[in-house]
Amino acid sequence: MQTSKHNPIGDQEAIERYLDTREPAYFDVLYRRYAGKVYAKCISILKDEGLAGDATQEIFTKVFLNLSKFGGQSKFSTWLYSITYNFCIDQVRKNKKGKQIFSDEMEKAPEIEEEVSDEEFLTMEIERLKVVLENLPEGDKAILIMKYNDDMSIIEIAESLDKSESAIKMKIMRAKQKARQIYDEFFKAQ
């Protein structure tokens, strides 16, 4: 393989070389680069290391089989993470057997009295934020990770979850509202 630690090939180049040569070593470059990140994202949504391992395996198999469909319009990481979140959300839906996993789909959706600002959400103390995220519905958590960790645009999130942009904006707003509600339940008295 023509890669080295000092001069690693980029994602796009690895994909092109793999498609030209069908040499699995080029796919391996992508796997080594992203497997840990995908696994961590799966754990944070599925909350189970065994399920996350199985999900990681299936996601990379899916990516491998569909690599020729990656058009390069977005970054490879954005494409890969979209597949990851979609897969995890589907898994959670299957395991919950029809129960809703986004706050805005629930019967008791939080009332939107005032919008929670990004500032308020992003400056929560880390330990408290951890508690909030652990208690958020999985769908809400996934969408907030896409927006605030992976810096995906509303359009990119909408495309990857096959929803309209306005639906995604509403989901983000509801998810932040739910996060504030959980924060108040756990920490308001303190």
Residues engaged in binding other proteins (CB under 8 A): 22-24, 27-28, 31-32, 35-41, 43-44, 49, 52-54, 56-57, 60-61, 64-65, 118-119, 121-126, 129-130, 133, 144-145, 148-149
Identify which of residues 107 and 119 has a Cβ nearer to other proteins in the complex.
Answer: 119
Q: What is the DSSP string of 44-82?
A: HHH--HHHHHHHHHHHHHHHHHTGGG--SSS-HHHHHHH
**4-23 burial, b if ≥16 CB within 10 A, otherwise e?**
eeeeebebeebbebbeeeee
Give min distance, CB of 97 to other proteins, in A: 26
Give min distance, CB of 52 to other proteins, in A: 8
The three-point CA angle 124-174-89 to 5° equals: 95
Q: Could you tell me the CA-to-CA distances from 170 to 61, 95, 106, 145 in Å, in that order?
A: 33, 25, 13, 15
> H helices of the chain, where?
11-21, 24-46, 49-65, 76-95, 118-122, 126-135, 138-148, 154-161, 165-187
Give min distance, CB of 32 to other proteins, in A: 8
Identify which of residues 99 and 134 has a Cβ nearer to other proteins in the complex.
Answer: 134
Identify which of residues 35 and 170 has a Cβ nearer to other proteins in the complex.
Answer: 35
Identify which of residues 128 and 169 has a Cβ nearer to other proteins in the complex.
Answer: 128
Give min distance, CB of 151 to other proteins, in A: 9
Identify which of residues 61 and 164 has a Cβ nearer to other proteins in the complex.
Answer: 61
Give min distance, CB of 118 to other proteins, in A: 8
